[in-house]
């Protein structure tokens, strides 16, 4: 994924193959129109009962970026020019009555993947990160007691494509036809 503008017509399989966890960013900022496009794709994600329990924090300023990096201290992560933090409010999300399951994580995961796929389509690398210190983010973002961060997505142009893609299980291992 280079910054050179390439117009590609991709089918969905090609797009899913194009997305991967990018951990090697150039300092070039993602253009506002691409960021707007990515956020629009997140906004249009489906959610249980259409409750849309999410909030997206776009982290651009140096001060806020340092706070986010403090929650996940990794050199590669600190090199990303931009982050989107996907938060949800468990008090807003749908709860299934039969077993009381709150669906906020499910809703957030869909929106997060929309972000990653939209970024890939726009030639922007992304990495979905969950191994952060949630308390640091909750404090810095002033989240309410029912709100919590689900994922940080690092975004940026990548310096170098990985040599090989991450392996996946074979369909025969993960599909049962009953
Ligand atoms: C829910 C979730 C949490 C993840 N958390 C992290 C993380 O904290 N740090 C990281 O470097 N990658 C993280 N990843 C990226 C995965 O390691 C990666 O998606 C997986 O190894 C497959 O590789 P690929 O994305 O390149 O296809 C996460 C991915 C998902 C879906």
1 vs 126, higher pLDDT:
126
CB 9: neighbour CB atoms within 10 A? 5
Look at strands 125-129 and 82-89 and give their pairing: unpaired
Cα separation, 18 vs 10, whole angstroms: 10
The predicted model scores a pTM of 0.95
Which residue's C-alpha comes closest to atom 21 of ligand 1? 166
**Closest-lying ligand 1 atom to the alpha carbon of residue 22:** 26
- For 89-99, the pLDDT digits (tens) are 999 999 999 99
Distance CA 16, CA 104 (A): 24
* % of the chain beyond a pLDDT of 70: 95
Q: Is 127 in the pocket of ligand 1 (CB under 6 A)?
A: yes
> If residue 62 lies in a helix (H) or strand (E), which one and from where to where?
helix 62-71
């Amino acid at each position: 994924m280079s910054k050179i503008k390439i117009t590609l017509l991709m089918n969905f399989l090609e797009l899913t193959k194009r997305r991967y966890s990018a951990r090697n960013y150039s300092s070039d900022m993602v253009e506002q129109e691409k960021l707007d496009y990515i956020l629009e794709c997140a906004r249009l994600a489906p959610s249980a009962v259409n409750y849309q329990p999410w909030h997206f924090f776009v982290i651009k300023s140096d001060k806020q970026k340092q706070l986010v990096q403090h929650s996940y201290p990794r050199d590669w992560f600190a090199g990303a020019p931009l982050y989107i933090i996907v938060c949800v409010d468990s008090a807003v999300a749908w709860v299934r009555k039969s077993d009381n399951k709150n669906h906020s994580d499910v809703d957030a995961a869909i929106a997060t993947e929309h972000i990653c796929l939209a970024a890939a389509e726009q030639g922007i690398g992304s990495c979905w990160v969950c191994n952060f210190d949630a308390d640091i983010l909750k404090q810095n973002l002033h989240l309410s007691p029912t709100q919590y961060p689900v994922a940080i997505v690092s975004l940026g142009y990548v310096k170098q494509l990985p040599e090989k893609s991450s392996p996946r299980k074979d369909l025969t291992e993960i599909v049962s036809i009953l």
